[in-house]
């Protein structure tokens, strides 16, 4: 048990999937895992542990933004022994070749700042995904016929962005999508020597201004959960 996670020793699996929304964690656990158990509900941040194809898996909410994710990932790694952490979440598309419902596998994650900035000081550290997870996720997507893109994303500090000039440069430099957590997940994974990946569903688009209807979200988000689970145990 930690300040933010009420799980008992042994209740968190070494493989953890991290949606931002705690209710998406509940949906994913009920949909994809067997024999699930609620292992955390401190501050309303739900976490569930069960099995997938016989493998222990925890699906735990991380909240919105890098500071929130940093709290949970630090505790999951340091106090509960998590070894593989995969963010499953939504993102905004930033290239015309990226369509609504497509999946993005984040090879790298650019940012203006992260909670780790104080450690790196003047260094522009380049956080990236674990290669074994990235390769396995790409193979899983191809096998399942899921439209998938691999490349760089942008982890933003703000949801209501007022920097169109920055977005223009992200698009110009080939950034596939924007979200709010992956860069710090990758920083922490590098620091602790564990595996991390972000598997993202494009739910809206900064160029076309399309948005995924809420009724379609669960069906589309299921693709990224399946990709993440297959990648974790390949």
- Residues flagged as binding site: 4, 20, 24, 43, 87-90, 179-181, 203-204
Q: How many CB atoms lie within 10 A of CB 36?
A: 18
* 44 Cβ contact list (under 8 Å, min separation 6): 22
Q: How far is CA 159 from CA 39, 41, 92, 138, 212, in A?
A: 29, 25, 11, 28, 17
223 carries an active-site annotation: no
134-154 residues labelled b (16+ CB within 10 A) or e (exposed): bebbbebbeeeebebbbebbb
List, as residue ranges, the binding site for a purine D-ribonucleoside.
4, 179-181, 203-204
Query: What residues does 105 pair with on adjacent strands?
Result: 150, 199
Catalytic residue among 102, 157, 161, 204: 204
Cα(71)–Cα(93) distance, integer angstroms: 27
Q: Are 116 and 74 in contact (CB under 8 A)?
A: no
Active site (catalytic) residues: 204
């Amino acid at each position: 048990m930690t300040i933010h996670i009420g799980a008992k020793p042994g209740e968190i699996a070494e493989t953890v999937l991290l949606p931002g929304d705690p209710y998406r964690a509940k949906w994913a656990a009920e949909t994809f895992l067997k024999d699930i158990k609620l292992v955390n509900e401190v501050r309303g941040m739900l976490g569930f542990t069960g099995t997938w194809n016989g493998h222990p898996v925890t699906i735990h909410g991380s909240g919105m933004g890098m500071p929130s994710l940093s709290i949970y990932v630090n505790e999951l790694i340091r106090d509960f022994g998590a070894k593989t952490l995969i963010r499953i979440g939504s993102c905004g598309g930033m290239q015309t070749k990226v369509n609504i419902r497509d999946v993005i596998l984040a090879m790298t994650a650019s940012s203006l700042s992260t909670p780790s900035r104080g450690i790196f000081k003047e260094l522009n550290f380049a956080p990236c995904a674990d290669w074994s997870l990235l390769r396995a996720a790409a193979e899983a997507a191809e096998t399942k016929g899921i439209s998938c893109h691999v490349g760089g994303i942008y982890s933003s500090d703000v949801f209501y962005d007022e920097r169109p000039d920055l977005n223009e440069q992200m698009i110009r430099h080939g950034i596939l999508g924007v979200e709010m957590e992956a860069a710090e997940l990758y920083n922490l994974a590098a620091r602790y020597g564990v595996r991390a990946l972000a598997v993202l569903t494009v739910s809206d688009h900064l160029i076309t201004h399309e948005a995924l209807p809420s009724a379609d979200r669960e069906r589309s988000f299921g693709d990224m959960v399946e990709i993440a689970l297959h990648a974790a145990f390949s």
